[in-house]
A = this chain, B = another copy of it.
Amino acid sequence: MDIEPIPLRIAIAGLGNVAQGVLELLRENGSVMATRAGRAIEVAVIASRSRRDVDLLGAEFTTDVLSLTRRQDVDLIVELMGGEGLALELVAQSLAAGRATVTANKAILATHGNRLFDLATQSRAPFGIEASVAGGIPIIAALTRATAASELNCVAGIINGTCNYILSAMSDQGESFESALVKAQALGYAEADPRFDVGGIDAAHKLTILASLAFGVPFDKAAVFTEGITDVTVDDITYARELGYRIKLLGIARRTAAGIEARVHPTLVPQDVMLASVAGVMNAVEVRGNAVSSLLFCGPGAGGKATASAVLADIIAIARGESPSRFSAGTKSCARVPMDLVSTAAYLRIPVIDQPGVFARIATILSEHGISIEGAIQRERAIADRKVPIVVVTQPVPEETMNRALAGLQALTAVVGEIRRIRVEHFDA
């Protein structure tokens, strides 16, 4: 393969984990990347608030982030700062100027993706976003390239490693949510303020991007129903296991006859489905379409080097003259299915006073709403009038039906605490 004498000169904004990963990989694997890119990749300038003690590979350093867009000696701008304000301004200016741009910033894509892709289309700027979802997993390439011959109908997966780590620790070591969270923080998986992860917001941002790429619809993060994992208990995990399920935080986007549904919530997944075996901080995304029945991609969803690898894959593609995330956002009219109309099966944990006939009353109310029971756990206790949980798994029904049934159940005098509902997905072939 010929290598051009003129290197691709890049500017990097940010000097955190991912930026440091990019610099490290350029140092370690630079020559193999040059072969694959057809030219060397050279870091011309790095912009960040503070210099830090990092080998900049001879690059200039500046604290003036927006000055990068005014440099005439830079072929490509890489935004790895995170946050929305300055990062958004940099990416928008860079794309508006027709400059090749790579970002790992899911928040600006979820919130301003339509504007950014419009800018890229108008100026014909190559735009790489592989690192924005699921770290080192090439899921953007999977949706925009590998499955380009498919009409996709579902993209679903484990797209927040922190939550998967916490749920795995609760499941494997029987730890409480709180203690698993503390461990995740100690290992550097969770932020000091973990609400972004455990509240499902990070996963909702990523699902917004996946849904947009999979179905060619506008970025619309407000359309993603979002429920985090803070209310999942070890009891739920134990009961779910007894019924043949694992609990995972999933992002699910699906094309149905009624439109696109998009939701992030804790989910019971049958234990023999491959997503159920994805443990710890790993991510995994399944893609289904009419040409390829089902593809599953697993790998590290975070981490400096893994994410940097995705950033550099985009840079190498651009060095080859390609536009890695070529994309037709917003070209399709699309109805969004409101959560009320989404059908799922549900796991219900119902705290009751253990009296004769309680289960029958519960079954009757469900039946009155047309809800069939698929499985149940009801432990008999020696001591009557003791608080015990009844656990049922239902057949799929629309969310609004289940909500009405839940209100009916909650009103029973034998029900002595809040009913816990966790949705169930079977991923049938």
Chain A interface residues (CB < 8 Å from chain B):
1, 21, 25, 28-29, 32-33, 35-38, 121, 130, 136-138, 141-142, 144-151, 216, 272, 274, 277-278, 289-300, 305-306, 308-310, 312-313, 316-317, 320-323, 326-328, 331
A93 to chain B, nearest CB (A): 23
Q: Which residue of B lies closest to A140 (CB)?
A: B146
Interface centre among A149, A290, A328 (most CB of B within 10 A): A149
How many copies of this chain does the complex contain? 2
Q: Which residue of B lies closest to A272 (CB)?
A: B277
Q: Which residue of B lies closest to A130 (CB)?
A: B146
A308 contacts across to B, CB distance below 8 A: 149, 291
Given A35-B331, A138-B146, A293-B299; 16 other pairs, CB 8 A cutoff: A25-B150, A28-B290, A29-B290, A36-B326, A145-B316, A145-B317, A146-B313, A148-B312, A149-B308, A291-B306, A291-B309, A296-B297, A297-B298, A298-B298, A320-B326, A321-B321
Q: Which residue of B lies closest to A24 (CB)?
A: B291
A177 to chain B, nearest CB (A): 24
A278 contacts across to B, CB distance below 8 A: 274
Whether the Cβ atoms of A1 and B326 lie closer than 8 Å is yes
Subset of 7 A-B contacts with CB under 8 Å: A28-B290, A145-B313, A291-B312, A293-B299, A294-B299, A295-B298, A296-B299
Contact of A309 among B35, B36, B292 (CB under 8 A): B292
Q: Which residue of B lies closest to A149 (CB)?
A: B312
8 tightest A-B CB contacts, nearest first:
A149-B312, A138-B146, A291-B309, A136-B292, A295-B299, A296-B298, A148-B316, A1-B328
Q: Which residue of B lies closest to A306 (CB)?
A: B292
Interface centre among A37, A289, A292, A331 (most CB of B within 10 A): A292
Q: Which residue of B lies closest to A279 (CB)?
A: B272
Whether the Cβ atoms of A148 and B292 lie closer than 8 Å is no
A43 to chain B, nearest CB (A): 14
A116 to chain B, nearest CB (A): 15
Whether the Cβ atoms of A328 and B148 lie closer than 8 Å is no
Whether the Cβ atoms of B141 and A29 lie closer than 8 Å is no
Contact of A150 among B151, B309, B328 (CB under 8 A): B309
Known pairs A37-B148, A141-B146; A300 contacts B306 (CB<8 A): no
A147 to chain B, nearest CB (A): 7
Q: Which residue of B lies closest to A3 (CB)?
A: B328
A10 to chain B, nearest CB (A): 13
Q: How far is the CA of A321 from the CA of B320 in the complex (A)?
A: 11
A320 contacts across to B, CB distance below 8 A: 322-323, 326
Contact of A147 among B28, B296, B313 (CB under 8 A): B313
Q: How far is the CA of A321 from the CA of B142 in the complex (A)?
A: 18
A242 to chain B, nearest CB (A): 20
A74 to chain B, nearest CB (A): 20
A327 contacts across to B, CB distance below 8 A: 1
A147 contacts across to B, CB distance below 8 A: 309, 313
A312 contacts across to B, CB distance below 8 A: 148-149, 291
Q: Which residue of B lies closest to A151 (CB)?
A: B29
Q: How far is the CA of A291 from the CA of B294 in the complex (A)?
A: 27
A27 to chain B, nearest CB (A): 12
Q: How far is the CA of A297 from the CA of B139 in the complex (A)?
A: 11
Q: How far is the CA of A323 from the CA of B32 in the complex (A)?
A: 18
